[in-house]
C-alpha cells in the first residue's frame, strides 16, 4: 500500500478517506461463510462478515470479522479537510502521511481472522486539485 499512496501523492492526488475491505474469490469461501448479498440475511453467515458487493467469481466484505466472539467491524478513515492556510501540496502530503499512519496503527491484517489477512484491500477516496478549487 505505501507504493500506491506515494504514487497518488506524486500525481498530486489527495486521499481524503477510505475503508478496508476483504476481497475473496468465491471458491475460497467455506460453505458456512458469506459469498453472496443474500447471505447478509442469514444470521450465522452474517456473523462472519457482511457482503458489500459480489460478482460471479468474487465477493467483497465491507464489514469484517475481527476475532472469535468479537463484533464485526467497519474499518474506515477520513482525513481532516484542507486548511485555508494549507497549500495543495501540503494537503496532499498530509493526507498521504495520515493514511499510511492509519494503516500502520489500525493493522487490519492482524485484526481479521488469519485466513482473511491476505485478502485485505484498501478502497481509497481521492480528490484532485481541481475538485478542491470548486469549494
Q: How many domains does the chain have?
A: 1
This prediction's pTM? 0.83
* 133 in a structural domain: no
pLDDT of residue 130: 76
14-25 and 58-63 strand pairing: antiparallel
* 73 in a structural domain: yes
pLDDT along the chain (135 residues), means of 10: 89 94 93 93 90 93 82 91 94 95 93 92 89 54
Three-state DSSP at 90 gives helix
Q: Residue 29 and residue 65: Cα distance in Å, rounded?
A: 14
Domain hosting residue 81, numbered range = 2-128
* 135 in a structural domain: no
* 84 in a structural domain: yes
pLDDT of residue 132: 57
* 113 in a structural domain: yes
- Through-space distance between the first and last CA atoms of the chain, rounded to whole angstroms: 29
Name the grid cell of 102: 492509519
* 134 in a structural domain: no
Closest CA to 120 of 77, 67, 65: 65
Q: Residue 51 and residue 61: Cα distance in Å, rounded?
A: 4
For residue 24, CA distances in Å to 32, 35, 131 come to 15, 9, 33
* 42 in a structural domain: yes
pLDDT of residue 71: 80
Amino acid at each position: 500500500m505505501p507504493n500506491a499512496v506515494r504514487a497518488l501523492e506524486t500525481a498530486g492526488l489527495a486521499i481524503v478517506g477510505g475503508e478496508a475491505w476483504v476481497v475473496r474469490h468465491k471458491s475460497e469461501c467455506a460453505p458456512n461463510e458469506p459469498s453472496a448479498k443474500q447471505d447478509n440475511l442469514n444470521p450465522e453467515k452474517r456473523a462472519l462478515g457482511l457482503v458489500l458487493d459480489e460478482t460471479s467469481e468474487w465477493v467483497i466484505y465491507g464489514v469484517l470479522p475481527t476475532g472469535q466472539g468479537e463484533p464485526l467491524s467497519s474499518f474506515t478513515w477520513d482525513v481532516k479537510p484542507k486548511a485555508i492556510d494549507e497549500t495543495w501540496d501540503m494537503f496532499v502530503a498530509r493526507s498521504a502521511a495520515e493514511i499510511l499512519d492509519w494503516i500502520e496503527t489500525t493493522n487490519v491484517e492482524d485484526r481479521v481472522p488469519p485466513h482473511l489477512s491476505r485478502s485485505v484491500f484498501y478502497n481509497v477516496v481521492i480528490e484532485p486539485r481541481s475538485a478542491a478549487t470548486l469549494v
